Amino acid sequence: MDSKPNAIVAQSGGPTAVINSSACGVIQEAIKSGKVSRILGAVNGILGVLKEDLFDISAEKPETIEALKQTPAAAIGSCRYKLKSLKESRADFERVLDVFKAHNIRYFFYAGGNDSMDTADKVNKLAADSGYELVCMGIPKTVDNDLAFTDHCPGYPSVAKYVATCAMEAGRDTEALYTTDTCTILEVMGRNAGWIAAATGLAARGPEDAPHLIYMPEAVFSFDKLVKDVKEVLKELGRVFIVAGEGLKDKDGNYVTADAGVFGKDSFGHVQLGGVAEMLKSVIEKEVGIKARFNKLGTNQRNAMHFASLTDVNEAYMCGQMAVRYAMEGENGKMVTLVRQDSPKYECTTGLAELSDVANGEKKVPPEYINEKGNHITDAMRDYVRPLVRGEAPITIGDDGLPVFMRFERKPLKKKLTKYL
């Protein structure tokens, strides 16, 4: 038996292009620290902990670990399993601690959004209450960029770079074919926050450039306004390229569309959105009388490793690395934050926020980043996002012309407890 404790790394929620870079930072820094025996991976996030479905990441080849930086999604596996309050999900929380105890896990590094920070916080408090020595550190991760207390979230810069480029490229298509395909709508992610939609505004370097209209959940949306906006752009340019966040809301705060489908809500209780672009298309065709088409990038936008932001990859790594350093320095119950320096040239360092604060916070696109008409962004938003998308992350291309991604061997750790889930 090792005398040194073990650490565990887990990934949660929707994947990003760089959540694996954060994992890489944790793993390489934890190995370097010499203070942990093994670094374990929780297969599919907290689900893997509950099921005692673990593997020894530190036994993986160093080149596999290094290649995390070039691999999108979540190589350790992710999930959408939600632990509720300590009262409601007591058994789950206790099981987490039991698994940690069984495997001598004293460090818990959890990359995710506010639900995950909430889980890490509660595990941490339960451990303290029961006298089990545990350090829980959160690593920000969400393409939605809606976590409070951090300048931005790893994952967002890469999706921003990609969707802005997609708007540029598809915008040129609409420009070339405007005599028939006069309107194109690009639907992007963003349930409650319009950060991704807003990022595409960077592509509009001049008035001719797409997108001409950007709709974000933060600005009240109406179909009357849409029709008026479209007609104005058409008069000017003869074509219109629109970016729509998936979670557009009317003046009463209701989603203008909710494609409930068979699985109407995900397990976090979020309404499954979709169909915004289709609805816009249909209204524009009927009310304006022009042909409209739509592109829905879906999960491709959050995994576009092939054009990820180097700034993002580096910062995601730094967040993982610093989570370990802070933990070794005695910090606990915190999430690493990104702190933009007040300098002429973009510089970003890390800070810390209480897990419980992050869990309960939310950061929307502020009014000063949205233009007065509520249909585009301001220079303040451009200044915010521009430095984030800079730099092209290196990728390895195989002999077949396609990117090469890693996969862990995931040799399962021997289970010590009874089956739980």
Stretch 374-413: interaction string toward its own copies, x if CB under 8 A: ------------xxxxxxx----x-xxxxx-x-x------
The phi, psi pair for 80, rounded to 5°, reads -120, 25
Q: How many CB atoms lie within 10 A of CB 378?
A: 17
Q: Which of 151, 142, 129 is nearest to 191 (CA)?
A: 142
Helix intervals (H) in 145-238 = 156-176, 195-199, 223-237
Nearest distance, CB of residue 315 and its own copies, angstroms: 14
Say how many residues touch its own copies, by CB under 8 A.
78
Question: Which CB sits closer to its own copies, 287 or 331?
Answer: 287
Segment (H or E) for 10 = strand 6-11
Phi, psi of 90 (to 5 degrees): -50, -50
Q: Is residue 180 a contact residue for its own copies (CB under 8 A)?
A: yes
Query: Site mask, its own copies, residues 339-378, x = CB under 8 A?
Result: ----------------------------------------
Q: For tokens 């109406």, name the residue.
A: 222
Respond yes or no: is residue 144 known to be catalytic.
yes
* Size of the chain in residues: 421
Among 248, 297, 316, 335, binds its own copies (CB under 8 A): 297
The rounded distance, in Å, linking the Cα atoms of 116 and 44 is 13
CB of 10 to its own copies, least distance (A): 12
CB 404 within 8 A of CB 85: no
- What's the closest the beta carbon of residue 285 comes to its own copies, in angstroms? 4
Work out whether 31 is an interface residue with its own copies (CB under 8 A): no
265 part of the interface to its own copies, by CB under 8 A: no
Binding characters for its own copies, 38-77, by CB under 8 A (x = yes): ------x--x-----------------------xxxxx-x
In terms of Cβ atoms closer than 10 Å to its own Cβ (0-12, 13-18, 19+), residue 232 is middle
Q: According to CB under 8 A, which residues from 198 to 257 bind its own copies?
A: 202-203, 205, 208
Residue 309 contacts its own copies per CB under 8 A: yes
Residues acting as catalytic residues: 144
